[in-house]
Amino acid sequence: SFHPNGYITRAEFATIAVRFFDLSYQGEDLFPDIDGHWAQDYINQAADAGIIEGYPDGTFGPQKQITRAEAVTMVNRTLDRHPDPDHFLEDMLVWPDNLDTEAWYYADIQEATNSHEYQVKKDAQGNEYEVWTKILPIRDWEALEKEWSDANSSENPGDVAG
């Protein structure tokens, strides 16, 4: 069944993310709490690819509802984005519930909620990170959607727009 307003688990989200790639994993389980879980292979593949991480106690929590911060982090990793708070711009949007610059999710939330241009750099160890160069204007997505819909709608109900 489809539940458009339903919650999604960490296992379900990891499965969605890893299906963007052609990955395989042939080792031991990377988390002690996924043995026999329907998404066991997907979770191992996502963890091996660096898309997901477990909790500090080493578990994954496959049946836990995913948080916004966890989802945003997985999306950023799936898209190969590498936010670095040392290279953000002062004119970025800042959210009242994301003011703790030391929180593990701070950079990923800023990455996901600020449209920006950037350059990819590498540190001394070869790790990539983004240097933001420009904050882009906030887009009116509703107006853009309406414009597209109006341009692609049929004059006669029931017709297929081309």
What pLDDT digit, counting tens, does each position of 44-78 carry? 999 999 999 999 999 999 999 999 999 999 999 99
Tokens representing 7 are 């919650």
Q: CB–CB of 112/82 below 8 Å?
A: no
Tokens representing 60 are 């994954």
Taken in order 113, 116, 120, 123, the sign of the CA dihedral is negative
Tokens representing 2 are 């489809």
> Does 156 score more than 90 pLDDT?
no
**H or E element, residue 121:** strand 116-122
Among 19, 47, 80, give the residue marking a domain's end: 80
Q: Are residues 76 and 20 in the same domain?
A: yes
Q: Are residues 125 and 107 in the same domain?
A: yes
- Could you count the other beta carbons within 10 Å of the beta carbon of residue 13? 22
**Domains in the chain: how many in total?**
2
pLDDT at 15: 97
What pLDDT digit, counting tens, does each position of 104-153 carry? 999 999 999 999 999 999 999 999 999 999 999 988 888 889 998 888 87
Tokens representing 132 are 């933001």
CA distance 123 to 101: 21
Choose the weakest-confidence range: 15-19, 20-24, 116-120, 136-140: 136-140
Residue 6 lies in a domain: yes
Residue (of 67, 64, 78) closest to 34 by Cα position: 64
Q: Which domain holds residue 19?
A: 1-80
Q: CB–CB of 27/44 below 8 Å?
A: yes
- Could you count the other beta carbons within 10 Å of the beta carbon of residue 15? 19
pLDDT at 65: 97
Among 65, 80, 95, give the residue marking a domain's end: 80
Q: Are residues 1 and 71 in the same domain?
A: yes
What pLDDT digit, counting tens, does each position of 94-112 carry? 999 999 999 999 999 999 9
Q: CB–CB of 31/45 below 8 Å?
A: no
Q: Are residues 40 and 92 in the same domain?
A: no
